Structure 1
Amino acid sequence: MTVRLAGVAIFMIAALYTWYGRDYTASFGDVLGPSVFPVIVGIPAMILSASLVVFPIGQVQWPDPPHMLRQVAALAILLGYALLLRDLGFPLATFGLILGIGIVLGGAPLRALILAAIFAPALWALFDQILGLPLAFLGRWFD
């Protein structure tokens, strides 16, 4: 039953992804446009997830409570990152993401702190300065 529920959940996510991505436009890029990518990803995902509903194979073993708690914490950190990215700016939000995920995955807090301090500004510099993809250095809270 768990495999079928997962198939339904994945199908719904893929359908929403395809639906919302179909109208995406950009003033630059490929002739086909950026709306093709969600369709290329979403339709096979819907087909494969429907196959899980029709032909469930395998047995699911749920993780023990400590591992499940770590997974929930990682999802909460990722959701918090998505919600706070505009308000905090890319480097600060990414710092929190790297630090939080590093600790949740069992890394030493000091190492996670050092990696977050190095990689958050480095990723901003890579995307914003080198690749030319504009990312806010400071978010709305600092304006």
Structure 2
Amino acid sequence: MTVRIAGVAIFVIAALYTWYGQGYTANFGDVLGPSVFPVIVGIPAMILSASLVVFPSGQVDWPDRSHMARQAAALAILVGYAFLLLPLGFPLATFLLIAGLGIVLGGAPLKAALLGAVIAPGLWALFDQVLGLPLAFLGRWFG
């Protein structure tokens, strides 16, 4: 039953992703437009998740509470990143994401913070300066 429930959940998420992604537009990019990517990802995801509902297989062993708590914390960090990206700006929000996930996944806090401090500005420079994709360095709260 767990496999079928997961299949339904993945199907709903893929369908929403495909539906909302169809209306996405951008002034730059591919000739077909950016709305093609959600369709390319969403339709196979819907087909494969429907196959989980129709043909469930395997035995599912649920993780213990500590692993579930870590997964919930990682999900909370990812949702928080989505909400903090505009107010804080890309480098600071990405630093918090990398450091937070590093700690949740069992890394040493100092190493997770150092990794975030190196990777976050590096990613901003790569996307903004090298690839020309505009990302806010400072968020609404700072500028």
TM range (shorter): over 0.9
* C-alpha displacement of 1:130: 1.2
Counterpart of 1:109 in structure 2 is 109
Runs (5+) with no aligned partner, structure 2: none
Q: Is the deviation greater in 103-112 or in 29-38?
A: 29-38
Equivalent residue, structure 1, for 2:18: 18
Q: What is the TM-score of this pair, normalised by structure 1?
A: 0.96
Counterpart for residue 8 of structure 2: 8
Q: Which amino acid aligns with 2:63?
A: P
Q: Distance in 1 between matches of 2:90 and 2:111?
A: 21
Superposition RMSD in Å = 0.9
Rounded to whole Å, the distance in 2 between the matches of 1:55 and 1:76 is 32
1:27 Cα deviation (Å)?
Answer: 2.2
Structure 1 runs of 4+ with >6 Å offset: none
1:109: how far off?
0.8
TM-score by length of structure 2 reads 0.96
Q: Which residue of 1 aligns with 2:84?
A: 84
Secondary structure of the residue aligned to 1:92 is helix
Structure 2 distance, partners of 1:140, 1:6, is 38
Structure 1, 21-30 or 61-70: larger mean CA deviation? 21-30
Structure 1 unaligned spans of 5+: none
Please list, as runs of the form range in 1=range in 2, the aligned pairs for 1:45-124 lying within 5 A after superposition. Answer: 45-124=45-124
